[in-house]
Amino acid sequence: MSLLLQDKVKAKPFLKWAGGKGQLIEQMRSYLPKEIVATGRIEKYFEPFVGGGAIFFWLSQEFEIGKAYLYDVNPEIVLAYKTIKSKVHDLLSELSQLEDAYLKRSDKSRQVYYYERRDEYNNFIEKHVPNNIVRRSALLIFLNKTCFNGLFRVNSKGLFNVPSGRYSNPKICDEENLLAVRNLLRNTEIERKDFSFCLEKVDSQSLVYFDPPYRPISQTASFTGYIKNGFKDEDQKRLKEVCDKLKKIGAKIVLSNSDPKNINPNDHFFEELYTGYQIERLKALRMINCNANRRGVIKELLIMNYSIEEIQ
């Protein structure tokens, strides 16, 4: 995989993503394992909750990655990555048509068009249509770029249910970025898998980054709707068991999550769960709360199976 995309567009996530890690990269840089910083290489990289992929895009353009393994249980996200990897020009053609059809309409007509495309997209999901993956992925990107707050949220049936947003000139067909993303995906394995699947391929030369659906920091702040069954405390505990197994293998582990102490300073869930791990707190800007007064700087957790002393 290319170390740097010199004289080329720097690839960035092709989807807007709630909780995306782009804003935390500069802080996370200080916590990378020392051998990665020293050699400029990651032998095997695993991201079992790839989502928007901000950390993968960062690492793959700053370090040489021998092989990357990107997993997610969300079939729509996985399908989009695979489509970009193998059929990017067909995807660009579809997106260009969607963009033209959307931008030429009035505001009211755009909303009608949005809901028509949302129904079309949900029809693929509801009827389990296996073909026309290019159109399906194009609709996903279109909806993501034109929906309210760029969210990906599904209901209990797994259907996309985010309302229309209001944008004057959204970039729906970002050709340069999608081509750059395709280049980074050339040496990746992309699969719809549970996070535990990484145990089958991780070795002592691996870096594993977990970015699971966050544990809600309040009763009303739950946002695990990108998968229809959510991600409960039992799943967080199962993830910790996987981390323990990876630790025994000798892999380096980095995990992100919300900090419950933002709301309740007596909530020690993660400290108790990840006893023996290094826990650091990073500053993040929360922007998706519907109440503007409740948006602002919060703390997020960075959990590692190696000590800070090792990287200083």
**pLDDT per residue as tens digits for the range 185-239:** 999 999 999 999 999 999 999 999 999 998 876 554 444 455 556 788 999 999 9
The domain containing residue 262 runs over which residues? 22-73+193-311
**Are both 63 and 86 inside the same structural domain?**
no
- Residue 293 is part of a domain; what is its CATH number? 3.40.50.150
CA 192 to chain centre: 14
pLDDT at 290: 47
pLDDT of residue 5: 42
188 within some domain:
no
* 51 plus 81 within the same structural domain: no
Looking at residues 20-37, what average pLDDT do you find?
91
Domain check: are 199 and 98 in the same one?
no
Residue 79 has pLDDT above 90, yes or no: yes
- What mean pLDDT comes out for the span 256-283? 94
pTM reported for the whole predicted model: 0.89
Report CA torsion sign: 300, 305, 309, 312.
negative
Please name the residues in contact with 140: beta carbons below 8 A apart, sequence gap of 6 or more.
15, 76, 79, 80, 121
Q: Which of 79-93, 177-191, 217-231, 238-252 has the lowest mean pLDDT?
A: 217-231
Q: Are 115 and 131 in a shared domain?
A: yes
Summary mean pLDDT of the chain: 89
- Whether residue 8 is contained in a domain is answered as no
Whether the pLDDT of residue 300 is over 70: the answer is yes
Residue 309: pLDDT band (50, 70, 90) is low
Residue labelled with tokens 């000590």: 307
Instruction: Tell me which of 309 and 243 has the higher pLDDT.
Output: 243
Which stretches within 8-106 are classed as H helix? 25-28, 34-39, 54-62, 75-103
Predicted local distance difference test score (pLDDT) of residue 297:
85
Asked which of 9-18, 24-33, 285-294 is least confident by mean pLDDT, the reply is: 285-294
Q: Both 197 and 304 in a single domain?
A: yes
Looking only at Cα atoms, what is the longest distance across the chain? 58
Confidence of residue 116 (pLDDT cuts 50, 70, 90): very high
What percent of the chain is predicted at pLDDT more than 90?
75
**Are 204 and 302 in a shared domain?**
yes
Q: Give the other-Cβ count within 10 Å of 255's Cβ.
A: 23
Evaluate whether residue 286 is within a structural domain.
Answer: yes
- Classify 298 as helix, strand or coil: strand
Report yes or no on 235 lying in a domain.
Answer: yes
Position 158 confidence tier, pLDDT thresholds 50, 70, 90? confident
Helix spans in the chain (H): 25-28, 34-39, 54-62, 75-103, 107-126, 133-146, 175-184, 233-249, 269-273
- Structural domain count of the chain: 2
